[in-house]
Amino acid sequence: MERLISVCLWLILALHLVLRVAGNAEGDALNALKNNLTDPNNLLQDWDPTDTNPCQWYNITCNSENSVTRIDPGNANLSGKLVPDLGMLSNLQYLELYSNNISGEIPEEIGNLTNLVSLDLYLNVLTGHIPATLGNLRKLRFLRLNNNSLTGQIPMALTTIDTLDVSNNQLEGDIPVNGSFSLFQPISFRNNRLNYPPFAPPPPPMPSTASTSSGNSAVGAIVGVVAVSVVLFSAPAIIFA
Ligand SMILES: *[C@@H]1O[C@H](CO)[C@@H](O)[C@H](O)[C@H]1NC(C)=O
Ligand SMILES: *[C@@H]1O[C@H](CO)[C@@H](O)[C@H](O)[C@H]1NC(C)=O
Ligand SMILES: *[C@@H]1O[C@H](CO)[C@@H](O)[C@H](O)[C@H]1NC(C)=O
Ligand SMILES: *[C@@H]1O[C@H](CO)[C@@H](O)[C@H](O)[C@H]1NC(C)=O
Ligand SMILES: *[C@@H]1O[C@H](CO)[C@@H](O)[C@H](O)[C@H]1NC(C)=O
Ligand SMILES: *[C@@H]1O[C@H](CO)[C@@H](O)[C@H](O)[C@H]1NC(C)=O
Ligand SMILES: *[C@@H]1O[C@H](CO)[C@@H](O)[C@H](O)[C@H]1NC(C)=O
């Protein structure tokens, strides 16, 4: 009997340890990030890996299952690098580390965050490519990577996004044209070394017969179309100049 009780106690202890370790895997990932960052204002001092979970940590938000959904220390004067461990935060929706001094590359493991809605890394000093793995993120809608030193091409696979800003980097190659790329304005891309796509012809304007006399209506419509086309086609050239 005594032996049975001690076996039970041992099992309970073992289970507790297993749950604790599993429960804090996300804390460990955030702690790896913290260890790779310099934090002059000590904002991340309560990111303590011995806590049962990271849900009370500075600028961390969890869902009701104590799984991390937001990382929010933007504008926090952090330097250092992002870590591949971030790819483990399977419920992460918002990764907001903008306006810091973060260097190095965007880990391709970010492409494992299938619930990610927003990736805001603008105003840092990131280098390297925009990982093509971001194209796997079907829920990603906000991608703001402007004002970094990113190089290489814009991945064609980024088609679900509806707010994009990659301006002020050193990106090159063609701006993709399919998916939501057709909706983005040149301001999202300016200050790179990108090739702008040929612009889709504007929808044919309705010939206005009211303004011209009956005999000249066809000529008037053609002149009107040409004039409108000149304005529409030259506008992008002015913007890009
Ligand atoms: C940076 O993060 C990695 C995990 O990605 C970890 O192995 C390493 O120890 C961290 N660096 C420091 C200085 O803690
Ligand atoms: C981050 O924490 C600071 C201090 O508590 C707070 O002022 C700020 O609103 C937080 N940011 C977000 C996005 O939660
Ligand atoms: C950020 O850090 C720099 C240098 O470490 C310091 O000069 C500046 O005052 C800091 N800014 C804030 C908002 O803490
Ligand atoms: C930015 O980070 C670099 C190291 O990567 C450091 O030398 C520099 O002082 C940091 N600047 C600020 C303003 O924190
Ligand atoms: C996360 O992404 C990396 C690189 O994109 C991949 O090699 C790895 O298998 C992924 N891990 C998981 C757990 O999906
Ligand atoms: C982003 O970079 C551009 C070009 O260097 C600069 O004019 C702009 O002020 C920067 N944006 C911010 C918010 O610093
Ligand atoms: C977008 O276009 C590129 C090349 O033109 C192609 O490889 C890619 O599959 C297209 N993506 C979608 C979603 O149509």
Identify the residue whose C-alpha is closest to ligand 2 atom 6.
59
For the entire predicted model, the pTM comes to: 0.78
**pLDDT number for residue 68:** 98
Choose the weakest-confidence range: 50-54, 187-191, 223-227: 223-227
Ligand of minimum distance to the alpha carbon of 78? 4
Mean pLDDT of 34-63: 97
Per-residue pLDDT reduced to its tens digit, 143-201: 999 999 999 999 988 888 989 999 999 999 999 988 888 889 899 999 999 998 765 55
Identify the residue whose C-alpha is closest to ligand 1 atom 6.
32
DSSP letters spanning 102-135: EESPPPGGGGG-TT--EEE--SS---SPPPGGGG
Please identify which residue in the block is written with the tokens 């301001």. 187
Question: What percentage of the chain carries pLDDT values higher than 70?
Answer: 72
- Report whether pLDDT(203) > 70: no
Ligand of minimum distance to the alpha carbon of 148? 6
- Report whether pLDDT(85) > 60: yes
170 lines ligand 6 (CB under 6 A): no
Identify the residue whose C-alpha is closest to ligand 3 atom 7.
77
115 lines ligand 4 (CB under 6 A): no
41 lines ligand 3 (CB under 6 A): yes
In terms of Cα–Cα distance, which of 133, 169, 167 is closest to 152? 169
**Atom of ligand 6 at shortest range from CA of 147:** 1
**Distance from the CA of 199 to the center of ligand 7, in angstroms?**
17
Question: What percentage of the chain carries pLDDT values higher than 90?
Answer: 63
Strand order in the sheet with 142-144: 60-62, 68-71, 94-96, 118-120, 142-144, 163-165
Phi/psi for 10 (5° steps) reads -65, -40
User: In what helix (H) or strand (E) does residue 151 lie, and over which residues does it extend?
Assistant: strand 151-152
- Report whether pLDDT(22) > 60: no
Ligand of minimum distance to the alpha carbon of 108? 5
Higher pLDDT, 8 or 161: 161
**Atom of ligand 2 at shortest range from CA of 96:** 13
Per-residue pLDDT reduced to its tens digit, 108-146: 999 999 999 999 999 999 999 999 999 999 999 999 999
103 lines ligand 4 (CB under 6 A): yes
**pLDDT number for residue 14:** 57
Quote the mean pLDDT of the chain. Answer: 83
